[in-house]
A = this chain, B = another copy of it.
Amino acid sequence: MFKAAKQTRIFQDVVEQIQETILAGKLMPGEMLPSERELKAMLQVSRGTLREALRVLEQKGLIEIKLGVGGGAVVQDISYDRVNESLALLIRYQKVSLQHLTEFRVGVEGRVSALAAERATPADVIHLKALLEQARQFAGKGSDFQKEFVEVDKQIHLSLAEITGNPVYLSLHHTVHDNIDQYYETFLFMKQREMEENFTDLGNIIDAVERKHADEARLLAEAHVLRFNHYMENREL
């Protein structure tokens, strides 16, 4: 019900004050905090305490420290890095397996494709088809271009997430891929035939999106991610 009321620590109060200032928009990304020596005077704390607070804010991804004259704490534009790092820790601790992540990805990509099918504008479809054309060319050039092909595949999924208009799906896309890609890069070597299968998948998904068949897009996307993952699992043996 309640959380620990451990608020005797001064640096935590400093963290909160600065964090709230940033989150309230009073300090925008790119702006700088006063120097440590100024801040310590403003907050009436010692430099050591202030620096402990700065370390916490830095780890949270809210600020970044620059050295030298004119240096100091710069407010950061928030990114997925912190989420990714903590998720990577979970994975390394083996609380979350690659299988769990990919299973989750199947669900997300299915849902994203269904929503995209409902919402795609003609311009969106044109963009998707342009990406598909790139994928077709890489798929035709053979296994040497598997890296480029996978990149375009990722671009297509990213575009679908954008079409949903829901930033939650964009965030998840980045988080999932940042933690999955390293495994793919290690284990995934697609054969010519597998690349063509994947290309066919993508074409079918985009076709379903264009025809606004949400349920069909969902099923195709789920099967596509499952197949993609299947390649990797076989390599892993």
Question: At the interface with chain B, which of A32-40, A102-110, A191-199?
Answer: A102-110
Give the dominant DSSP class at A's interface.
helix
A138 at the interface (CB under 8 A from B): no
Docked CA distance A135–B92 (Å): 36
User: What number of copies of this chain does the assembly contain?
Assistant: 2
CB interface residues, A 106-120, toward B, < 8 Å? 107-108, 110-111, 115
Docked CA distance A82–B62 (Å): 15
Q: A83-B83, A90-B171 are in contact. List 5 more A-B contacts (CB 8 A).
A: A78-B93, A80-B90, A83-B86, A85-B86, A91-B168
Residues of A within 8 A of B (CB): 11, 23, 48, 51-52, 55-56, 58-62, 78, 80, 82-83, 85-87, 89-96, 100-101, 103-104, 107-108, 110-111, 115, 166-169, 171
A-B pairs with lowest CB-CB distance, top 8: A107-B111, A82-B86, A59-B59, A78-B93, A104-B168, A55-B55, A83-B86, A52-B55
